[in-house]
Amino acid sequence: MSNSDCLFCKIIAGQIPAKIAYQDDKCLAFHDINPQAPTHVLVIPREHIASLKEASASLHNELLGHLLTSAAKIASDLGIAEDGFRTVINTGAKAGQSVFHIHVHVLGGRGLAWPPG
Ligand code: 5GP
Ligand code: ZN
């Protein structure tokens, strides 16, 4: 279930501190250590899944939906939903993924350009 070499599994286990924004039985959300917007939170499943590429329809549909609805709730709770916020899942190093435990970035509190880089 968890991966002893994984940074985010260590945050879930409480071995590395993080500023928690939300948690429940399936997911944990914490503030990004290097925020790219005034509000930048990462929503992760408690279960270790390396990336969206490794997620399966038969096992993970409900969990992935839960991450997204939790992201919206967190955006609302943190006061960034009204003006708009962005959810991002980077998949693979070339797409910007640096931590291989799936996570949804939730960014808001400023205008966000499109397309991304
Ligand atoms: P990725 O590049 O994989 O899409 O996103 C990984 C994110 O994790 C980055 O935005 C990075 O700043 C954040 N991050 C990396 N290490 C830590 C950490 O130890 N604590 C927290 N809170 N965020 C981290
Ligand atoms: Zn992990």
Could you report the per-residue pLDDT of 30-48, keeping only the tens digit for each? Answer: 999 999 999 999 999 999 9
Ligand 1 probe mutation, 9, 90, 98, most atoms within 8 A of CB = 98
Residue 104 placed within a domain: yes
Which residue is closest in CA terms to ligand 1's atom 15?
Answer: 33
Residue 1 has pLDDT above 70, yes or no: no
pTM of the model: 0.98
CATH code for position 67: 3.30.428.10
pLDDT tens digits, 7-27: 999 999 999 999 999 999 999
Whether residue 21 lies inside any domain: the answer is: yes
Q: Which domain holds residue 94?
A: 7-108
Q: What six digits make up the tokens of 45?
A: 């499943």
- Whether 115 maps to a domain, the answer reads no
Phi, psi (deg, nearest 5) at residue 114: -140, 135
Residue 97 lies in a domain: yes
Catalytic status, residue 101: no
Residue 114 falls inside a structural domain: no
Per the structure, how many domains does the chain have? Answer: 1
Question: Domain for residue 30, yes or no?
Answer: yes
CA distance 13 to 16: 8
Cα–Cα distance measured from residue 35 to residue 59, given in angstroms and rounded to the nearest whole number: 31
Catalytic residue among 40, 101, 103, 105: 103
Asked if the structure places residue 54 within a domain, the reply is yes
